[in-house]
Amino acid sequence: SPLSLLLKNSPLVSRLNLYDIAHTPGVAADLSHIETRATVKGYLGPEQLPDCLKGCDVVVIPAGVPRKPGMTRDDLFNTNATIVATLTAACAQHCPEAMICIISNPVNSTIPITAEVFKKHGAYNPNKIFGVTTLDIVRANTFVAELKDLDPARVNVPVIGGHAGKTIIPLISQCTPKVDFPQDQLTTLIGRIQEAGTEVVKAKAGAGSATLSMAYAGARFVFSLVDAMNGKEGVVECSFVKSQETDCPYFSTPLLLGKKGIEKNIGVGKIS
C-alpha cells in the first residue's frame, strides 16, 4: 500500500495496475480518488494477472512474506522464490519488454531466479532485470548524514555487493561529500547499515519488516528508472544485476540507466 501511494502521487506514472491474491480492489478504489494523473486499477488472482501485465513498461514485484525476528532473508527463500517465479513467468509471457524491478527477498536469489525464468521463455534481457537494493543506499546516506550532521538528501554513498548482511558493502570512501571516520566508528557504521533491516524487524516485534522505508526506496528506484526511460541523461542508481564486474555472476554496482534499461555498468570504481 505505501509503495502504491507513492507511485500514484508521481506525475511520471500514467497508469498504475495493482495485483495481489487479496484486497487489491479495495486498495485500488481508495487510491483512485487521489487527484493525480495515474489511472488506478486493481487485479485479483491468477486469472486476472495477464490483463494486469499487458502493456506495462515497468513491473515492480514486492510480493512475498516478510521476515520475523530471528529470521534471515534466506529463510524466506522457499516461499518467496515460488511467488517470484510465478509472477516473472507471467511477465515474460505478457510484458516481455518491460523493466522488471524485484524487491522480494532474498534479492540475492530472486534475481537469478528471475533471469532463469525469462531465459526459459526466450525473453531474457539482462539490461532490464533489477534487484532493488536502494534501501541500502538510503540507509547509508541517512546514517552518514546523522553522524556528520549533514542534509541526508545531499549525501550519496554507493553500496555494492548484494542485499543481505555481510554482502552489503557501503563504499564510505566514495561518499559525496567526502567524509572521514575513525576506524572504530566506521566499523560500527558499516555494521549498522548491514543489519539495519534486522533492526526494523526487531523493533516491529513480529509485525513484519521495513515497509515504509522500503516503499520510499522502491519508489526512488522506479522514478530514476522512468526518468532515464524518458530520456533524462546521467541517471545513476545502484542495483543488483547480471554483472561482469567481479567473479560473482550477479553483483550490485552503480549503473547508468537509459531508455533501454542499463546503459552502462559503472562498476566498483576506486576503493580504499
> How do the pLDDT tens digits run along the chain, 272 residues long?
999 999 999 999 999 999 999 999 999 999 999 999 999 999 999 999 999 999 999 999 999 988 989 988 899 999 999 999 999 999 999 999 999 999 999 999 999 999 999 999 999 999 999 999 999 999 999 999 999 999 999 999 999 999 999 999 999 999 999 999 999 999 999 999 999 999 999 999 999 999 999 999 999 999 999 999 999 999 999 999 999 999 999 999 999 999 999 999 999 999 98
| H helix intervals, 182-262 | 183-194, 196-204, 212-229
Q: Is 15 annotated as a binding residue?
A: no
Q: Which residue in the block uniquely carries the three cell numbers 550532521?
A: 149
Q: Is 109 annotated as a binding residue?
A: no
Rounded CA gap, 8 and 41, in Å? 11
Listed residue (152, 136, 238) closest to 196, CA to CA? 136
Domains and CATH numbers, the chain: 2-131 (3.40.50.720), 134-265 (3.90.110.10)
pTM: 0.97
Q: Tell me whether residue 94 is one of the annotated catalytic residues.
A: no
Alpha-carbon dihedral angle through residues 102, 87, 19, 225, given to the nearest 10 degrees: 30
Q: Is 99 annotated as a binding residue?
A: no
Q: Between vectors from CA 31 to CA 260 and to CA 4, what angle results, nearest 5°?
A: 40
Q: Which residue in the block uniquely carries the three cell numbers 522506479?
A: 222
